[in-house]
Amino acid sequence: MAKTGTTTQGLRAAIERSGYYPALVAEAVEAAVGGEPIASYLVHQETTFDANEVRRHVTVLVLTATRFIVSHTDEQNADTTSPTPYATTSTESVKLGRISSVVVSRVVANPESYQPGTLPREIVLTVGWGAVSRIDLEPAACGDPNCDADHGYTGNSTADDLSLRVSEAGDGPETVRQALHFAQALSEATAATR
């Protein structure tokens, strides 16, 4: 489930509609936003299945004139650290000028007959600002098949701060539309800060 919009009241209502610990989520998000006007937001709740457990989590993305705010809340079952179930909420506030990439990956069905304006089957929104990077290494090789020398390693470093996937099958077409709208607003806002 995702909701998007541009007002503080709309953000609060979208968090409440998600039904996922709304008082906890709203308090964390509103504290991070402060008094700054909201340009756009996206509330995305996801349910995952982990072995014999069902887990829910919610991600709230907020765009203001100067910042990109990410809030994520997870629920946990009772464990050795807590005799009762608990939730963990975190928020991160990133200045728009720090965002180095906004990537929208679209999956479309029947690309040979694609019509402009058709919703993708799913999208993945990836935002990078340098807080988390992933390094993929592999042994380097030369073109000689008989060479057994050590050529060191080669690899890639990828910014991977946030990745959010929404799909028509799992979340519905309106959620895909809302995620695209938020991604466009974020992309335009980061371009304006350059």
Confidence of residue 54 (pLDDT cuts 50, 70, 90): confident
User: What phi and psi, each to the nearest 5 degrees, are found at residue 13?
Assistant: -65, -40
Instruction: Give the best-scoring range by mean pLDDT among 6-15, 31-40, 140-149, 155-164.
Output: 31-40
Confidence of residue 15 (pLDDT cuts 50, 70, 90): very high
pLDDT at 160 > cutoff 70: no
CB 15 within 8 A of CB 62: no
pLDDT at 187 > cutoff 60: yes
- The closest of 73, 91, 63 to 19, measured between CA atoms, is 73
pLDDT at 38 > cutoff 90: yes
- Please give the Cα distance from 46 to 17 (Å, whole number): 13
CB 132 within 8 A of CB 161: yes
pLDDT at 23 > cutoff 90: yes
- Please give the Cα distance from 98 to 146 (Å, whole number): 47
pLDDT in tens, 88-128: 999 999 999 999 999 999 999 999 999 999 999 999 999 99
Q: Count Cα neighbours of 127 within 13 Å in the Cβ-side half-sphere.
A: 26
pLDDT for the residue numbered 125? 95
Residues 91, 96, 99, 104, Cα dihedral to 10°: 90
From start to end of 77-161, where are the E strands?
Answer: 86-95, 101-107, 122-128, 133-139, 153-159
**Paired tokens of 193:** 């800060």
CB 73 within 8 A of CB 57: yes
- Please give the Cα distance from 167 to 158 (Å, whole number): 24
- Please give the Cα distance from 181 to 85 (Å, whole number): 35
Sheet of 122-128, strands arranged across: 101-107, 122-128, 162-167
